[in-house]
């Protein structure tokens, strides 16, 4: 099966005052198959959100290539990119800030249809809005109400409806449940999984909650300081992580089970303006050796579909936890 999305050597740098360069995303490569869910995890400041926004060209890439359905969209003008945008949509983290409070839900959902399907008649547009509201678990009457009349979980359902009303192939879900109460997070996650099955969606699921990512993802990519340091199937990654950073992340999540040692990372995340030489994680890594300072380790295969960026491939991190890994 050919990839729906191919990202090759993608970087996004921001120029700051006084000539400083912030390397938010650096040399990221991966692909995404139709209908696949790829989780993107990492600490705050690791570049997850910037990566998602750059793939959609909400941020302009500094370097690299983005291919969507076989077409290089990196080089497209805004005018030529516009008809493709209906097939690549995003759900934002904050359901409170992402919806216009002065518009009804029906008006909010009508905007994508007006932009991407301008010949659609008014009656058919109303039908599509009602159908989409039902798809995300809301009543048709919701179209007449304003965002402030809904709970946080319901608002996020409206955000999902807005993203899906033009029937995209790719959905970037940027921390879609982190702003919600724990009691409704599972409902929204289950909705996304159901929509993925019903609509054949491919989802780039950006989150910091490893337990949630483990439930929804087919594969997981771990980011640290703008780079992917490990990528594997969810089961392989949760069973035996092969990068020290992934091992440390997993050790901090009690509900992943097993008898893993709690690993406390020393210091703070380094600045992407002045990253350490060599491996960016070496300043916090308990396995660091002199060779870690010499060069930036590339992402290399360490197993079937499993790759890690570490100069010590002989490390066998974390005891196997197959019985607790996601199915």
Please answer whether residues 226 and 24 qualify as being in contact, where contact means their C-beta atoms are separated by less than 8 angstroms.
Answer: yes
pLDDT score recorded for residue 41: 95
Phi, psi of 230 (to 5 degrees): -160, 145
Instruction: Kindly report each contact of residues 18-21 with a partner whose C-beta sits within 8 Å and lies 24 or more positions away, as own/partner.
Output: 20/273, 21/273
On whether the CB atoms of residues 188 and 215 are closer than 8 A, the answer is no
Q: Where are the domains of the chain?
A: 102-167
What's the whole-number average pLDDT of the chain?
Answer: 90
Once rounded to an integer, what is the mean pLDDT over residues 187-196?
Answer: 92
Rounded CA-CA distance 215/66 in Å is 27
Q: Residue 58's pLDDT is what? A: 95
Query: For residue range 17-68, what is the model confidence (pLDDT) as tens digits?
Result: 988 999 999 999 999 999 999 999 998 889 999 999 999 999 999 999 999 9
Per the CB < 8 A criterion, the answer to whether 234 and 218 are in contact is yes
Q: Which two tokens stand for residue 88?
A: 């690549």
Judge whether residue 176 has pLDDT over 50.
yes
Residues 192-250: tens digit of each pLDDT: 999 999 999 999 999 988 888 998 999 999 999 999 999 999 999 988 889 999 988 88
Between 173 and 251, name the one with better pLDDT: 173
Give CA–CA dist 327/317, Å, rounded.
Answer: 21
Residue 240's pLDDT is 87
Q: What is the pLDDT of residue 97?
A: 87
Both structure tokens of 25: 């995303």
289-318 average pLDDT score: 83
pTM: 0.91
Task: Give how far the C-alpha of residue 87 lies from the chain's centroid of Cα atoms, to the nearest Å.
Answer: 16
Name the packing angle between helices 152-164 and 122-135 (round to 10°).
Answer: 130
Calculate what percentage of the chain has a pLDDT beyond 90.
70
Check residues 96 and 41 and name the one with the higher pLDDT.
41
Say how far apart CA 169 and CA 56 lie, in whole Å: 13
User: Which tokens is 21 given?
Assistant: 């360069």
């Amino acid at each position: 099966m050919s990839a729906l999305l191919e990202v090759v050597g993608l970087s996004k740098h921001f120029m700051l005052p006084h000539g400083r360069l912030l390397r938010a995303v650096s040399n990221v490569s991966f692909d995404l198959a139709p209908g696949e869910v790829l989780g993107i995890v990492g600490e705050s400041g690791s570049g997850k959100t910037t990566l998602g926004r750059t793939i959609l060209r909400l941020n302009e890439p500094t370097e690299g290539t983005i291919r969507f359905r076989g077409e290089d969209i990196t080089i497209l003008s805004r005018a030529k990119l516009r008809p493709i945008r209906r097939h690549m949509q995003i759900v934002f983290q904050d359901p409170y800030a992402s919806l216009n409070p002065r518009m009804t839900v029906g008006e909010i959902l009508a905007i994508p249809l007006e932009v991407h399907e301008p010949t659609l008649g008014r009656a058919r547009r109303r039908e599509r809005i009602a159908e989409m509201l039902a798809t995300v678990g809301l009543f048709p009457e919701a179209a007449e109400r304003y965002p402030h009349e809904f709970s946080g979980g319901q608002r996020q359902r409206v955000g999902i409806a807005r993203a899906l009303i033009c029937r995209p192939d790719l959905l970037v879900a940027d921390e879609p449940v982190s702003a919600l109460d724990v009691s409704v997070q599972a409902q929204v996650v289950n909705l996304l999984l159901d929509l993925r099955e019903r609509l054949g969606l491919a989802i780039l699921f950006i989150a910091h909650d490893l337990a949630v990512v483990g439930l929804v993802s087919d594969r997981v990519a771990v980011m640290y300081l703008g780079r992917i340091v490990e990528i594997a199937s969810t089961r392989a990654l949760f069973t035996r992580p092969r990068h020290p950073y992934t091992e440390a992340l997993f050790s901090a999540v009690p509900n992943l089970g097993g008898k893993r040692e709690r690993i406390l990372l020393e210091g703070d995340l380094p600045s992407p303006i002045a990253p350490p030489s060599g491996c960016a994680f070496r300043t916090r890594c308990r396995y660091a050796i002199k060779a870690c300072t010499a060069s930036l380790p590339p992402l290399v295969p360490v197993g079937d579909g499993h790759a890690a960026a570490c100069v010590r491939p002989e490390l066998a991190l974390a005891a196997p936890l197959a019985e607790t890994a996601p199915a």
